[in-house]
Amino acid sequence: MEIFTSWPSWREAEGPLIQALPAPTVDAVREAFAFARRCHGVQQRPTGRPYVEHLLEALEVAVAGAGLREQEVLVAVVLHDVLEDTPCTERELARRFGARVAELVRWVSRPRGTAKADHLAALVKAPAQAVLVKLADRASNVQELQRMPWRFQRRYYLETVAYVLPLAGAHPWFAEWYGEWRRLWRRVERWPG
């Protein structure tokens, strides 16, 4: 299974992005990353690593893995957690990056007070572009799931199988990647309680 951790900083990401994408798209993604880095500040992943590494992993999944090229989707991939995890508002996102990017980010952001399972289940109604954002996000989160405590691993695995894998079916690269990931993690389904 391919792992996407080659772009831990913008410096490592920029060269491959310049080779893969038109200059205006690279510029838009660069601007979105700078904005996301300011919004997320010193936030860390559960592993203690800088949170912005997750954003670049999701971007690497989208570009280097799935071959996505659509500017609005890639910008949304980089911004996918700013509504859920920072004080940034949808209105601010729309003003800076356009209404479509703000809409895609809103689709993948769990509203406060909403159960995670309900939010994930609602993604079956999301636009295809928002689903691509979620698939790239979740691939970043699960590619090294073994780093997390086992109870988290089990819950996250089962949640991914129940809600995210069905979304991947319409996207051949994601369907294959998640299929391989599931084969590697199938042992989790047999864990007790």
- With CA atoms as reference, report the closest residue to 53 among 78, 74, 84: 78
What's the 3-state SS for 15-82?
HHHHHHCCHHHHHHHHHHHHHHHHHHCCCECCCCCECHHHHHHHHHHHHHHCCCCCHHHHHHHHHCCH
The answer to whether 139 touches 174, Cβ cutoff 8 Å, is yes
The answer to whether 53 touches 10, Cβ cutoff 8 Å, is no
Please provide residue 44's backbone torsions phi and psi, each rounded to the nearest 5 degrees.
Answer: -120, 155
Report the 10 Å Cβ neighbour count for 94.
16
Neighbour-count burial for 4-26, b at 16+ CB within 10 Å, e otherwise:
beebeebeebeeebeeebeeebb
Q: Catalytic positions, please?
A: 84-85
Which structure tokens are listed for 83?
């509504």
- With CA atoms as reference, report the closest residue to 33 among 11, 7, 55: 55
